[in-house]
Amino acid sequence: MQTADGLFWPVPVVNLAESCPVEAGQRLALTDPNREGHPLLAVMTVDAIETLSDDDVATILDKVFRTDDPEHPGVAAFSAQGRTVISGPIEVLNYSYFEEDFPDTFRTAMAIRAEIAERGWERVVAFQTRNPMHRAHEELCRMAMEDLSADGVLIHMLLGKLKSGDIPADVRDASIRKMVDLYFPPNSVMVTGYGFDMLYAGPREAVLHAVFRQNAGCTHLIVGRDHAGVGSYYGGFDAQTIFDEEVPEGALALEIYRADHTAFSKKLDRVVMMRDAPDHSPDDFVLLSGTKVREMLGQGIAPPPEFSRPEVAEILMAYYQEIDGTTAS
Amino acid sequence: MALIAPHGASELRPLIVNDARRAELEAEALTLPSMMVSSAAAANAVMMGAGYFTPLRGYMNRADALQWPKICKPLTACFGPFPW
């Protein structure tokens, strides 16, 4: 593997199992746990079969997740796998359920590069999301585009199996596409997605995000507060400072765009980055909690236009009212 | 107009196979032992297939998986100029 030759790679990319059914040097069929009937996903030539020691596991948890708390969802997912490391080259047959479940949104890095080239973009900013986008996110993309003189924004959604409370992909996509159609100039935004299991590794995952956005042809990645974090495991800007502290110079060609939370300022009558408004108190911003927004949408009450575009709110309200089984009067 | 280079390579190295190779592998797989991988390992395969994890060729061994955190402190001492 090239990592042993000095390739910079931020997280272990491993196949961990309880045991390996073949010996080193043999071929192994890998089947898909996430599709019905567990069809073939890849074929592997097994180079080595090794075991992670307790120390190895502790090292990985500490470096990747900065915690060994079993309550951390990334730690829990990692620890639920076996300790046998089955390594070697693979050939991949398909993109699991992602193509079928998200046909309008799932894109390979190859397809995104091709489309960027076709659009004639050179400076491209990636925006990571897995949720609908409200004004704060929309304006953040616009700020990054302007500050970086970028040709376009790649909205790049994490696609995956739904958890309870998640908005279905089609609803989320429709609301994002509506926002792009109405509020961005033509040929300035691409709406796409990729299939991965989120690690919730915060800073380390932000670096992984940077690596694979570079592979998708992006020159910049927006990294905001608590990027890819969960709970209170990471400091607000750890996902930015890791690029200074732990990424060797020259290891990445992509640069990050360092963002803070954005919100609508009643004083300035526009969305601002909160760090740029040090004289503001929380009351000077239009701030709504996720729970509050969810409640309002379910009751058919549109959040204020400073928070959500009305056309976006309309799509989300229709969805929530349907699942709540209520109708707005 | 040149796009930014992929990570550690001059071009993307997606591990997805073409239709002809897929048919060969499907036939071969019938003769091979198989294992159902974890969801995380499957996600890694999808990312390698789709070119996002260029230039990785497959799953890392133990040393590779531990290398960045364990050996490379400070990291810049471990990774000199890139040969690509």
**Residue B83 pLDDT > 60:** no
The amino acid that residue B1 corresponds to is: M
Q: What single letter denotes the amino acid at residue A107? A: R
> Taking the CB of residue A144, how many other CB atoms lie within 10 A of it?
21
Q: At what angle do helices A290-298 and A310-324 cross, to 10 degrees?
A: 70
In sequence order, the 6+-apart residues with CB closer than 8 A to the CB of A16 are A52, A78, A81, A82, A83, A84, A85, A86, B38, B40, B41
Q: Is residue A213 among the annotated active site residues?
A: no
B1 pLDDT higher than 80: no
- With a pLDDT cut of 70, the percent of chain B lying above it is 79
pLDDT of res. A326: 54
The pair of structure tokens assigned to A258 is: 């360092």
pLDDT, average across residues B47-64: 93
Quick one: pLDDT at residue B71?
A: 36
Q: Cβ of B78 and A6 within 8 Å?
A: yes
ipTM over 0.90: yes
Q: For the segment A63-77, what is each residue's pLDDT rounded down to a tens digit?
A: 899 999 999 999 999
Question: Residue A104, CB half-sphere, CA atoms under 13 Å: how many?
Answer: 9
A131 is catalytic: yes
Residue range B26-39: mean pLDDT, rounded: 98
Give Cα A268 to chain centroid, integer Å: 31
Pairs of residues, one from chain A and one from chain B, whose beta carbons lie less than 8 Å apart? 281
Chain A residues touching B64 at Cβ < 8 A:
1, 3-4, 9, 12, 87
Beta strands in B1-84 (DSSP E): 34-36, 58-59
What's the pLDDT band for B72 if we cut at 50, 70, 90? very low
pLDDT interval class at A146 (50, 70, 90): very high
What is residue A221's predicted lDDT score, i.e. its pLDDT? 98
Mind telling me how many Å the CA of A279 is from chain B's nearest CA? 39
Q: Exposed e or buried b for every residue in A265-279, given b needs 16+ CB within 10 A?
A: beeeeebbbbeebee
Flag if B40 and A16 touch (Cβ within 8 Å). Answer: yes
**Choice among A15-19, A180-184, B59-63 with the minimum mean pLDDT:** B59-63
Q: Can you list the alpha helix ranges (DSSP code H) found in A92-159?
A: 98-101, 109-119, 135-147
Q: Averaged over A298-305, what is the pLDDT?
A: 94
Predicted pLDDT at A220: 98
C-beta atoms of A110 and B70 within 8 A:
no
